[in-house]
Amino acid sequence: MKLLTKEEGEVAVKLARAAIEIYLAEGKVIQERFSGVFAEKRGVFTTLTKRGLLRGCIGFPYPVKRLDEAIIESAIAAATQDPRFPRVRLEEMDDICVEVTVLTPPEKIEAKPTDIPKYVEIGRHGLIVQMGPYSGLLLPQVAVELNLDAESFLSETCMKAGLPPDCWLSGAEVYRFEGQIFKETEPKGEVVEVELK
């Protein structure tokens, strides 16, 4: 999968911020569309942080929409539909940093359960755990931020799905993916690509 350039990453983050601010101010969804990588179907998550704390994070794990549409929709949803937080207010956007993570398509880890951690590289892979109707996803940056090893990352993803922390050992399906992360260095500030290593 082709990576985004720094310029495309800047466009992605600015699009996410504009989508939120226009929606909060006017109730309108941006209709503008972009060419190139933005016309390709990609998975994407928009993460909002306020003074270093999570304020919202929603996205599309699978490449089901054009990237520009997925960014617009995930950004608005992160601001208005994350069940963990109240809706973002427009005036809060001056204190919020916007981060966009573009995902590679998830691939199932085909290994016996005890070997699964060997296929999870911290700082590179995000995880999806699925079992029956339950599903949980954690982005690659979560493992780095929480200083997790592969086994504890798997357990945290199970718990995100509302499952027991060891469900990855007892039949849950585990998928891994990679993410390219672009974020503002400060609210409305410069956009940089984040290296997790």
Tell me the pLDDT tens digit for each residue of 168-190: 999 999 999 999 999 999 999 99
111: domain CATH number is: 3.30.1490.150
Same domain, 21 and 43: yes
Alpha helices in the chain (DSSP H): 6-26, 67-80, 140-145, 150-160
pLDDT, residue 182, reads 97
Q: Per the domain annotation, does 58 fall within a domain?
A: yes
Same domain, 188 and 128: no
Q: Per the domain annotation, does 1 fall within a domain?
A: no
Cα dist from 114 to 23, 98, 151, whole Å:
46, 37, 10
Residue type, 163: L
Residue 161 and residue 134 in contact, taking contact as beta carbons nearer than 8 Å: yes
pTM for this predicted structure: 0.94
pLDDT, residue 77, reads 98
Instruction: Please determine, for residue 81, whether its predicted confidence score (pLDDT) is greater than 80.
Output: yes
Q: How many CB atoms lie within 10 A of CB 137?
A: 22
pLDDT, residue 196, reads 84
pLDDT in tens, 17-32: 999 999 999 999 999 9
Q: Per the domain annotation, does 34 fall within a domain?
A: yes
Indicate the average pLDDT of the chain. 96
Same domain, 39 and 89: yes
Domain range for 154 is 107-177
pLDDT, residue 54, reads 96
Both structure tokens of 125:
């892979």
186: domain CATH number is: 3.30.700.20
Same domain, 133 and 52: no
Q: Per the domain annotation, does 146 fall within a domain?
A: yes
